[in-house]
Structure 1
Amino acid sequence: MNRLQFMNRMKEGLSPLEAQERAELLSDYEQHFEMGLSEGKSEKEIAVELGNPEDLIKEALGDRYFQDRKNLSQDRVHDEEQTTYNKSPQGSPSFPKETSNQRTTSRFLRATGLVFLNLLLALPILATIWALWVSLAGISISGILAPALAILDFIFVQKQVVLPELFVSLVFFGIGILVGIFALWLMKRIGRWTAGYFKWNQTVLKEKEN
């Protein structure tokens, strides 16, 4: 199932909800697809991660899901008995309607979990990665400035050109250029990872419990 098929099914299934609530849920699913695509996942993989649309619709509608199915059946088959729609199949899970207090509690628990995850694991790792990048940037800048420092040394200290020192400074200059190119590439990658992680935090805080 691709993105269009998934979203069309969710729009159709969530039609009994209030317009604002339906729009919020659809926006959450759209954000899942956007974030997954930015991480290189396919639309099919993202749809599988989100879960079966029917299960998601059941969760969102609660009792209204079964009432909606009953009304559809009555429109199609007027003479068929509708008692089977008022009972859950044996062994199948029930989907109670989520109350406002339950949603608030769920969001509080997710927020608490994210705080501990960020403080104990994510933020220290990100800080370490960025510190390593700063070190690389420092090495690059030092290497690039090496010839200039050598020339200053020749002018004000040595009073002559020292070929070995000049050669070494040029070597460090080349290394500084290469390290700088790598540091720029790495900065873009780390920046995307950092932005993606904080966007994932926002998505987790907004999404409904499965």
Structure 2
Amino acid sequence: MVQSKFMSQLKAQLQDLPKAEQQDILYDYEEHFRSGLEEGKTEEEIAASLGQPQAIAREVKEEFRGKEAKPKPSADSVGKAILVAVALGFFNLIFILGPFFAVVGVLISLFAASFALLLFPFALLFSWNQLSGSADWLIGVFAILASLGAGVLIGVGSIFITRWFYRLTMRYLQFNVKMIKGRQG
């Protein structure tokens, strides 16, 4: 099929679309032919690679109808979204915000405790010369090892809990957004 026949069939299939949309689509396919000819392809090869004009027009029309079918916000839907946002705001303020800050406080405390336990051995080492006798020395070594172990364990646990809490918070915020937009689920 040559370019003129392809383009005339495509134009005939696109008649029920607005003129501006038709011109854009036809221009795009003219560009396909122009670039294909520059690459040394024949008009028949280009037309065969593009497909049947009827199939192209059907896809273009479906896409155009899909764009037109998107819901436009109405006063009713905007009002519902505002009502849901206000209700969620009060709910979040009363029932969610307090526990959220409590968990954040606990996480900060865990990180602070981990940091303190990791710093304790250094403080103990600076006062090492005050330890006298072999029994005090062994207690100091045990305290250093216990402090380092507890600090590392609490720190690693805090990191995992923080990651879990972050994911949970993001899921809850996404749920709030879906509720405001009016989608279930």
Indicate yes or no: 2:174 matched with 1:199.
yes
Indicate how the Cα distance of structure 1 residues 208 and 18 shifts in structure 2: closer, same or farther if over 3 A, else same: farther
Amino acid at match of 1:200: F
Indicate how the Cα distance of structure 1 residues 176 and 127 shifts in structure 2: closer, same or farther if over 3 A, else same: same
In structure 2, stretches of 5+ residues that fail to align are 1-61
Amino acid at match of 1:182: G
CA offsets, 1:157-199, max 9 Å, x none?
A: x276842233223212111111111111111101101111112
1: distance between equivalents of 2:140 and 2:183? 64
2: distance between equivalents of 1:143 and 1:16? 61
Indicate how the Cα distance of structure 1 residues 181 and 135 shifts in structure 2: closer, same or farther if over 3 A, else same: same
Aligned to 1:130: 104
Bigger CA radius of gyration: 2
2: distance between equivalents of 1:141 and 1:17? 56
Matches within 5 A, 1:26-175: 100-155=74-129, 158=130, 162-163=136-137, 164-175=139-150
CA contact (8 A) 1:150 1:166 kept: no
CA offsets, 1:22-58, max 9 Å, x none?
A: 8xxxxxxxxxxxxxxxxxxxxxxxxxxxxxxxxxxxx
2: distance between equivalents of 1:136 and 1:208? 38
2: distance between equivalents of 1:106 and 1:170? 60
2: distance between equivalents of 1:16 and 1:178? 55
Q: 2:71 aligns with which of 8, 12, 21?
A: 21
Amino acid at match of 2:152: I
Q: 1:190 aligns with which of 140, 159, 165?
A: 165
Task: Point out the structure with the larger helix share.
Answer: 2
1: distance between equivalents of 2:160 and 2:151? 14
Amino acid at match of 2:165: I
Q: 1:180 aligns with which of 131, 143, 155?
A: 155
Q: Please, what is the CA RMSD of the aligned residues?
A: 2.6
Indicate how the Cα distance of structure 1 residues 147 and 101 shifts in structure 2: closer, same or farther if over 3 A, else same: same
What is the TM-score when the length of structure 1 is the normalising length? 0.49
Worse overlay, 172-181 or 160-169: 160-169
Instruction: Quote the offset at 1:208 in angstroms.
Output: 5.2
Amino acid at match of 2:120: A
1: distance between equivalents of 2:124 and 2:147? 11
1: distance between equivalents of 2:71 and 2:79? 18
In structure 1, stretches of 5+ residues that fail to align are 1-11, 23-98
Runs of 4+ in 1 over 2 A off after TM superposition: 15-22, 159-162
2: distance between equivalents of 1:208 and 1:138? 41
